[in-house]
Amino acid sequence: MGRHRTDELDDGYRASEPPPRRRSKNSRGRVLVPLAGAVAMAVLLGVAAFVIFNRDHDCTAGKLPLRVVATPDIQPALNKIAGNYNKAMHSIDSKCVEVSVTKEAAARTANALAAGKSKADFWVADSSLLMESMRAISGKDTLPQVEGSIASSPVVLAAAKASAEKLSGALQPSWTAMVSAANVANVDGPGRKVRVLALDPQKNSAGLAALLAAAGTAKEAGQDKALVGALKELSGQLAPDSNALLASLTVKSGSRVPVGVTTEQAIHAHNTKKPEAPVVALYPKEGTLSLDYPVTILTKDTGVLKAATDFKQELSSESAKKVLRAAGFRSADGKAGDALSEDKGFTPEAPVALDPPDGATVTRMVQTWTRLNLGSRLLTLLDVSGTMALPVPGTGMTRMQAINKIAAEGLGLFPAGSEIGLWTFSTHLDGKGKDWKENVPVGPLSESIDGALRKDVMASTLAQMRAKATGDTGLNDTVKAAYGQLTKTYQQDKVNTLLILTDGAGNDDPDGGVKNSEIIQYLTKTYNPKRPISILLIAFGPDAKKGKKQMETLAKATGGEAYIAENILQVRDFFLQGMERRLCTPNCDG
């Protein structure tokens, strides 16, 4: 029978029996024993190392998804950082974190959050300014607070490299110069040589930052009215995003050099994709605001929250910062990488930082933009009474010609989408007892009337207008009729205004009609602050001041304003002041 093994520790022999004597051949046995021990030790050490390694990279419980949403400009860089992070197998509660980064405009994400429909765990917006504006629009504090910044990109002016040299004599890089160039009422300013393009501040963070920077510097420089004119003009020059804006800078359009507003990083990205049509950054001399790319953790899940905190820490690592700088971003402290070198059209040193506005300032600016860009619905009443045929001393014009010029100047400030109409008034102008006549019905300037645009019909009608030699001034009857019609046809999405252009003699109706006290009573009773229709009255001529008190009473009854023009050029300011009043309507006078 075979030998039975009774003790593995004693090599299969009983401890009381001596082991059989082994043969020795060239001492090989003495070599193999320690070698076998070394191999065993290596295996044990390997197992120990495996156990230690997987203690931090333990994926035995599966994967832990972390859904990151980021704005389109920073998403590619974050996607690269996330890829490196995933390869490193970061483990949370025996699950390996798997980060996915999708792109979505910050405004869209903010709207989804406000509606409770966002599925993101982790959000990287492009600016805390936009988040403040979204809070203002939603009217409630539905957005969570940010938890720090991971990058920055200054908002700058931009021009095609090929045309940048032409700007030196027309526009020095500054916010005040941009406001002056964009001011629709400054027809003799730098706007003759420069066309300013902008981004919608309600949809684009760079556009909002530019608006806030320009508004702040304009206020300090006393450019309040110029700012209103600029904002009104820029509302019709908006690009949907930075890509479209930068592409348009390199396309020739007339003799004016296009200048836009965007971020350094957007310029870098454009030049990388389109090196044949490079754009250069122009840094405003007053300083600027920057996009700060705030991080917001949205998840409430305990495990995912741990993963989000870990990934947030990864974004502050030097390796992550290098990826971001290579993509044209600066670090949160303003440090630039090789992507923003001088030979590439940038200034590596961080530009002067303007003081960031507080939440209240952001809210006011957003409301200002919104109200300024409400559509305009304007009915103009033009005085054609006999006194309008009298000359205006020192001008070589009659009052009629001067008023027509004022009308053409003012109406030229309104964009094509505005709804405008024209009535003339005197006495018995459209049959016995009717003191007004509808010359051009209220409607969009871009709409066709008998084959011609309303804008052109307005211009030709004004040019042919003549005073009625025997006519008196049936102002009150006309105002009552016009105000009543605007009230009946009121449009909620527009600023509804009654504009009166006269030589300022007031109401003069030998046939009686509506008395001064009666028209004030009518306006006071009819005016509705929830559906405001304001009267803007502009008078020009030597008799204008005589009727100032009456005209002011008339306008104030509707929250409006009356202006006395001493020269034609003043009308630009008056129209801008009238536009300014829409910002405070219906509480302009307390």
Which are the contacts of 581, defined by CB distance < 8 A and separation ≥ 6? 534, 536, 559, 560, 561, 588
Q: What is the pLDDT of residue 449?
A: 92
- Reduced to 3 states, what is the DSSP secondary structure of residue 282? strand
Q: Which CATH superfamily is domain 374-582 in?
A: von Willebrand factor, type A domain (3.40.50.410)
Q: How far is 486 from 495, CA to CA, in rounded Å?
A: 11
Name residue 531's amino acid: R
The string of DSSP codes covering 223-279 is: -HHHHHHHHHHHTTSEESSHHHHHHHHTS--SSSEEEEEEEHHHHHHHHHH-TTS-E
Q: How far is CA 562 from CA 378, 417, 419, 578, in A?
A: 16, 26, 22, 9
Structure-block tokens of residue 115: 């509606």
- One-letter amino acid of 478: T
Nearest one of 106, 113, 104, 105 to 141, comparing CA atoms: 113
Angle between helices 516-526 and 548-556 (to 10 degrees): 20
- Domain 63-146+294-327's class? alpha beta
Question: What is the Cα–Cα distance from 91 to 60, expressed in whole angstroms?
Answer: 10
d(CA 520, CA 498): 15
Residues β-bridged to residue 149: 294
In this structure, are residues 483 and 444 in contact, taking their beta carbons and an 8 Å threshold? no
Of residues 190, 231, 240, 239, the one with CA closest to residue 212:
231
User: Distance (Å, rounded) from C-alpha 340 to C-alpha 43?
Assistant: 52
Q: Is 447 helix (H, G, I), strand (E, B) or coil?
A: coil
Give the pLDDT confidence score for residue 582 in this predicted structure.
Answer: 57
Q: Which of 273, 195, 292, 274 is nearest to 239 (CA)?
A: 195
Token pair in block for residue 303: 């495990």
Tell me how crowded residue 261 is: count the other CB atoms within 10 A of its CB. Answer: 29
Distance CA 538, CA 150 (A): 53
Residue spans per domain, the chain: 63-146+294-327, 153-291, 374-582
Smallest CA-to-CA distance from 157 within 3, 8, 288 is with: 288
CA distance 400 to 407: 10
Beta pairing partners, 508: 473
Give the separation between CA 232 and CA 209, rounded to whole angstroms. 17
Q: Quick one: residue 334, left, alpha or beta (phi over 0 = left, psi -120 to 50 = alpha)?
A: left
419 contact partners, CB below 8 Å, separation of at least 6? 375, 376, 377, 378, 442, 443, 444, 445, 491, 494
pLDDT at 266: 97
What are residue 501's DSSP bridge partners? Answer: 382, 538
CATH of 153-291, one of 3.40.190.10, 1.10.357.10, 1.20.1250.20, 3.40.50.300: 3.40.190.10
Q: How far apart are CA 229 and CA 4, in angstroms?
A: 107
Q: Give the C-alpha distances (Å, rounded to integers) separating 450 from 180, 285, 350, 461, 518.
A: 38, 51, 58, 14, 39
Residue 548: CB atoms within 10 Å? 16
Beta strands in 61-143, from DSSP E residues, in sequence order: 63-70, 91-92, 95-103, 122-124
Q: Which residues pair with 290 in a beta bridge?
A: 154
Q: Of 214, 222, 253, 230, which is closest to residue 181 (Cα–Cα)? A: 230
Q: Please, what is the Cα angle at 373 between 450 and 70, to 5 degrees?
A: 125
β-strand pairing of 397-398 with 391-392: antiparallel
* Inter-residue contact 330 to 152 (CB < 8 Å): yes
Provide the token pair at 203: 């949809």
114-140 residues labelled b (16+ CB within 10 A) or e (exposed) = beeebebbbbbbbbbbbbbbbbbbeee
Helix (H, G, I), strand (E, B) or coil at 395: coil
Q: Which burial class, exposed, middle or buried, applies to 21 when counting CB atoms under 10 A from its CB (0-12, 13-18, 19+)? A: exposed
> What's the pTM value of the predicted model, to 2 decimals?
0.70
Tell me whether the CATH fold assigned to 63-146+294-327 matches the one assigned to 153-291. yes
Secondary structure in 3-state letters for 207-229: HHHHHHHHHHHHHHCCCHHHHHH
Q: From the first residue on, what is the mean pLDDT of each consecutive set of 10 residues in the chain (590 residues)? A: 39 41 42 44 43 59 95 97 96 94 90 85 90 62 78 96 79 89 77 87 89 91 82 81 91 82 97 93 95 94 95 96 97 95 94 89 81 82 91 84 80 80 93 91 92 91 90 92 96 90 81 90 94 90 81 91 78 68 57
Tally Cβ neighbours within 10 Å of residue 104: 18
**Closest C-alpha to 197, from 189, 188, 207:** 207
pLDDT of residue 135: 64
